[in-house]
Structure 1
Amino acid sequence: MIRRRDSLKKPTKAIICAAGLGTRFLPQTKAMPKEMLPIIDRPVIQLIVEEAVAAGVTEIIMVTGSTKRAIEDHFDRSDELEAELREKGKDDKADEIKAVAELANFVYVRQKGTPKGNARPVLNAQHLIDDDEPFFVFFADDFFRSEVPRAKQLLDAYEATGKSVISLIEVDKADADKYGMAAIKDEAAGGAYQVTELIEKPGADNTPSNLASVGGYLLTPDILPIIADEKPDKNGEITLADSINELAQQDAVYGRIIDGIWHDTGNQLKYIKAVVDLALERDDFGPELAEYLRERLK
């Protein structure tokens, strides 16, 4: 039964999974976390924090690893740097770095335990989530370029349905061997579809739809005991997809087709595409970059 919209508890916490080693970007990521790779002048992880804050999140729970100190430093105040910038008359820059530290309350949790998998960070952070509290989960290397932040779109669907909501994108069925594909049925309010199952990389002939599941979830706490009891998959990992499938057997789960362009910065080519796409949208140097690319491609 769908709960009344006015009785829903607002999500104010987001778990960001940021413990990956980033081996595809070595040797760069030997000293710098992959989540800190810059998209022009902001690290990837800041883009994700900003979209969560835009949806009303006030507490960011970072689940990190032993090499991620730079993330903590980035979201911390730097009084010395701020003072130096102000002495040089760069008040705008000082205000900008101060604002980053004040985006939310940041909590850091070290990822630990086995089996591993993308559900492990949720287990590590579950003690920070109340029993009746919905929460966001994001991966630290993918984001959407959109007018309305992905997190806000998920929130709209959650408020319309009262249930867990996952992010979906439309893909060519020929690419169904690259994604977890969603089997859907009824359309609900808030632009959401009920998801009955996620099928991992089924291929074009076996996919139930052209809708792929990508990073970004607004989950109800009903999923926490499911994750805690999850059995490892064939790769020896516990995954959010498996837990979502089990939740879908017990209660409705919805998928929201996110209006925007999805960027995955998990490998070099996709990262470069994300940088170029966002750079081309900049008013200060986008047109000049576009002209340069046209000349270069001649």
Structure 2
Amino acid sequence: MLENVKFGVIPCAGKGTRFLPITKSVSKEMLNIIDRPTIDYIVDELIDSGIKDIVFVVSPSKTDIKKYYSKDESLINELKESHKEEYIKEIEKLTSKANFYYVTQKEALGLGHAVLMAKEIVHDNNFVVCCGDDITLYDKCNPPIKSLIEAFNLTHSTIVGGQKVEHSLINKYGSMDIEKNIDETLFKLKGIVEKPSLDKAPSDYASLGKWVFKPNIFNELEHTKKGLGNEIQLTDAIESLIKKEDVYFKIFNGKRYDCGDKLGFLKAIIDISLTRDDLKDGFLKYIKSIIK
């Protein structure tokens, strides 16, 4: 039963500097993987995991996300007049597949601050947080977020989601300091070391953009001082929580892509293309032709 977790929160207020100049006019979360924006894959994972109320935390200049998930009667009428009814269902499905809410983060004060902004919608409900540029390819029967929610319902505690990464990459992530194993995919945490040097990383288990929180995280965030980059860091608030109560790390299934990184974004496009019946044969033939 997944009714204990009501909301999904997707922070989308980042500037997307690594993708300039395109992100000067398009939100990085709206960069397309073929015919869908990156963020839509995250939305669908939340929906597949039983979450129907989704909160986007956006900057004042980001209006394209709201436009994408809003009704567009003029477009529907154009498609009808052009006898392109096959697209109408896809367009209408966007606005009806979940309840969408929007919160504006007026200042870019970090991921922790973005999560705190969602309090006005989430209130005293449990909720999931997903980074807006991290997507995962997964078995439809077992979405990663669903497995995190199940761990939350088992432990009644904050869940940090992630996977094991190559040791040479752990300095890019939060490294899990593990106190004990609950099972082969669930661990009680002693702490988190953010972006450690390779010789000081407590493990190769990395936090990878998915969390399940109780509403008490808002209190921690309200009392978290600015840290790295002069921003309110979500990891700092979780570290504070670990000192007061149990927090767990859950390994999620699936192949994860960092779409905030150009190479990660390109890998996602290639792999998703190869899952689509309308593209995979022609695309694979083309790939083979250029790597001979």
- Match for 2:100 among 82, 106, 112? 106
In the alignment, is residue 288 of structure 1 matched against residue 282 of structure 2?
yes
Counterparts of 1:134 and 1:83, CA distance in 2: 40
- Match for 2:123 among 130, 134, 153? 130
- Where 2:10 maps in the other structure, the secondary structure is strand
In the alignment, is residue 143 of structure 1 matched against residue 135 of structure 2?
yes
Counterparts of 1:145 and 1:109, CA distance in 2: 27
* Paired letter, 1:168: G
Q: TM-score, normalised by structure 1?
A: 0.92
Counterparts of 2:168 and 2:36, CA distance in 1: 34
Matches within 5 A, 1:55-134: 55-113=49-107, 116-131=109-124, 133-134=125-126
Counterparts of 1:266 and 1:234, CA distance in 2: 19
Equivalent pair of 2:60/2:106 in contact (CA under 8 Å): no
Counterparts of 1:196 and 1:9, CA distance in 2: 28
Q: How far is 1:88 from its partner?
A: 3.6
Structure 1 residues 159 and 190: alpha-carbon distance in aligned structure 2, compared to 1, 3 A threshold: farther
Equivalent pair of 1:174/1:203 in contact (CA under 8 Å): no
* Paired letter, 2:75: L
What is the percent sequence identity of the aligned residues? 33
Q: How far is 1:199 from its partner?
A: 0.4
Counterparts of 1:161 and 1:206, CA distance in 2: 29
- Match for 2:194 among 190, 194, 200? 200
Equivalent pair of 2:128/2:212 in contact (CA under 8 Å): yes
Q: How far is 1:13 from its partner?
A: 0.9
Q: How far is 1:130 from its partner?
A: 2.8
In the alignment, is residue 47 of structure 1 matched against residue 41 of structure 2?
yes
Matches within 5 A, 1:5-20: 10-20=4-14
Equivalent pair of 1:142/1:263 in contact (CA under 8 Å): yes
Structure 2: where are the runs of 5+ without partners? none
Counterparts of 2:165 and 2:206, CA distance in 1: 7
Q: How far is 1:173 from its partner?
A: 1.5
Q: How far is 1:113 from its partner?
A: 4.6
Instruction: Tell me the alpha carbon deviations over residues 51-92 of structure 1, each in whole angstroms, 9 at most, x when there is no partner.
Output: 111222222111101221111110001122123323444333
Equivalent pair of 1:112/1:124 in contact (CA under 8 Å): no
Q: TM-score, normalised by structure 2?
A: 0.93
- Where 2:210 maps in the other structure, the secondary structure is strand
Counterparts of 2:228 and 2:54, CA distance in 1: 31
Show structure 1 runs of 4+ deviating over 6 A: none
In the alignment, is residue 37 of structure 1 matched against residue 31 of structure 2?
yes
Counterparts of 1:12 and 1:95, CA distance in 2: 27
Q: Which residue of 1 aligns with 2:168?
A: 174
Q: How many residues align?
A: 290
Counterparts of 1:33 and 1:104, CA distance in 2: 21
* Paired letter, 1:141: D
Counterparts of 1:9 and 1:28, CA distance in 2: 39
Counterparts of 1:234 and 1:142, CA distance in 2: 21
Structure 1: where are the runs of 5+ without partners? 1-5
* Paired letter, 2:21: P
* Paired letter, 1:208: P
Counterparts of 1:119 and 1:238, CA distance in 2: 5
Q: How far is 1:296 from its partner?
A: 0.7
Counterparts of 1:31 and 1:76, CA distance in 2: 19
Counterparts of 2:36 and 2:184, CA distance in 1: 31
Equivalent pair of 1:157/1:189 in contact (CA under 8 Å): no
Instruction: Tell me the alpha carbon deviations over residues 209-249 of structure 1, each in whole angstroms, 9 at most, x when there is no partner.
Output: 12011101111112111110001114211111111111111
Counterparts of 2:73 and 2:149, CA distance in 1: 35
Equivalent pair of 1:171/1:211 in contact (CA under 8 Å): yes
Structure 1 residues 213 and 24: alpha-carbon distance in aligned structure 2, compared to 1, 3 A threshold: same
- Where 1:274 maps in the other structure, the secondary structure is helix
Q: How far is 1:189 from its partner?
A: 6.1
Q: Which residue of 2 aligns with 1:3?
A: none
Counterparts of 2:238 and 2:198, CA distance in 1: 22
Q: Which residue of 1 aligns with 2:152?
A: 158
Equivalent pair of 1:180/1:198 in contact (CA under 8 Å): yes
Counterparts of 1:56 and 1:257, CA distance in 2: 19
